[in-house]
Amino acid sequence: MDTFKAEVESILRKQKMFFESGMTRDIKFRLNALTKLAKTIKKYEQDIYKALYKDLRKSEFESLASEISGVMDEISYIRKRLRKWARPRRCAVHINNKPASGKLYPEPYGSVLIFSAWNYPFNLCMTPFVGALAAGNCVVVKPADQAPATAEIIIKILSECFDPEHVVAVHGGSDHASCLLEHKFDYIFFTGGENYGRKVMRAAAEHLTPLTLELGGKSPCIIEPDVKLKVAAKRIVWGKFLNAGQTCVAPDYLFVHESVKKPLLDEMKKVIKAFYGDDPQQSPDYPRIINSRHFERLKQLIEARECFCGGVTDLDDLYIAPTIVDNVLRDDILMQNEIFGPILPVVTWRNFDEVIDFVNSRPKPLAMYYFSDKCKDLDRLLSRTSAGGMCVNETVTHLINPAMPFGGVGNSGMGGYHGKFSFDTFTHTKPILNKFTFIDLPLRYAPYARKLKFLRFICKY
């Protein structure tokens, strides 16, 4: 570990020198870097598919849809708008400062540390990286070691694209992550679980380093009696069992009105069969659990339960079937912590106030989903609850819109990114006041005798 610590110190010294050279502040330099990144990702596209299959058994379609396309869209979206975003812009000047002009000057932080998560190991590493790169920073990337094949291809892509004094991707597990956190970075971006997020925040506090935390939480999926059952069933099943439920914004529990629970669950059971066949284990489109530790954790949640559907497990294959657990009590263990797997507990409600009270009794979720045809209770839900983001009659897809920020609130995280919000996250907006010299009002200068009354008149209070 001493060798790694020395390596990190060397990286940061070189990045500091490179950043201070001013190279990364040049917009053309940033645009060229983004273009080269896009070309290199395209070059290694097949290798990325192979890595994601090896780590998570993802199909090529799911890998393209949920991993690669999001990164490529992010690069394209930012490239088209970067010159405008990076341009200093005028701002108003208060009367107390006149005569003067004001500007807001976007500037990069310096050296940025990015921690990725294993569940979408390519997307969740490269998407924030694109924002940090576009903002003009030097970057140290720590891919998720739990997805080693994807980490390898990320390191290969970044080492081919960038000089190490600009961008470095490093190997290693939790010890290496802890070692990185001992060093002073100018910004930290972390995606992962709440417990480790707390450790990252404590470490950042030691250096007064600003940070973004993308965490998780129990995202409710609320079903009104007037829901369109067939559409809702497809969208919920897709959002829940995408990546075998290992999605930070997956519906974590189904909160359904008692009058439509049975028809909705029956329809969802049909949809699971339509998506993955009679035996999802044989489906080429159904991924696997990341490792045996997470498999055992998930298996314990459904052992000795009568599942409405699913419940089948296979340790050798790291397979857990798409599982719905009915008749779950609100204090059940399934309702305590984020499940992060292909298990969907079902609870019912009768009065919408129950929904609001229950959601508010828990930590603020990363996402919230609401299904209703007439949306009569939507305004109440929006005004009386809080979540990182929300979909109406949809799941998950709010996070792929680059015109919207993606992030949490409270225990589910802080800060947001994607599109312009990524650029802003990795940018310090420096205010510049340019005071004119053709006049110099004496009011502010001592002595202050006989000036207080005039000052009160100007301040108007």
The rounded distance, in Å, linking the Cα atoms of 198 and 201 is 5
Choose, from 221, 248, 309, 391, the residue flagged as catalytic: 248
Alpha helices in 193-307 (DSSP H): 194-207, 229-241, 261-276, 292-302
DSSP, collapsed to helix, strand or coil, labels residue 142 as: strand
Q: Is the peptide bond before 447 cis (omega within 30 degrees of 0)?
A: yes
What count of other Cβ atoms lies within 10 Å of the Cβ of residue 262?
12
139 contacts 111 by C-beta, under 8 angstroms: yes
353 contacts 359 by C-beta, under 8 angstroms: no
Pairing state of beta strands 138-142 and 111-115? parallel
Find all residues with CB under 8 Å of 443, minimum gap 6, and list them: 451, 454, 455, 458
Give the DSSP H/E element, type plus range, for residue 392: strand 389-392
The rounded distance, in Å, linking the Cα atoms of 100 and 347 is 61
Known active-site residue 179: no
The rounded distance, in Å, linking the Cα atoms of 427 and 309 is 48
Pairing state of beta strands 220-223 and 323-325? unpaired
Choose, from 62, 67, 214, 338, the residue flagged as catalytic: 214
Known active-site residue 214: yes
b vs e for 91-108, b when ≥16 Cβ sit within 10 Å of the residue's Cβ? eebeeeeeeeebeeebeb
406 contacts 418 by C-beta, under 8 angstroms: yes
The rounded distance, in Å, linking the Cα atoms of 38 and 47 is 15
The rounded distance, in Å, linking the Cα atoms of 212 and 415 is 5
Pairing state of beta strands 406-407 and 367-371? unpaired
What count of other Cβ atoms lies within 10 Å of the Cβ of residue 52?
29
227 contacts 259 by C-beta, under 8 angstroms: no
User: Which residues form the catalytic set?
Assistant: 214, 248
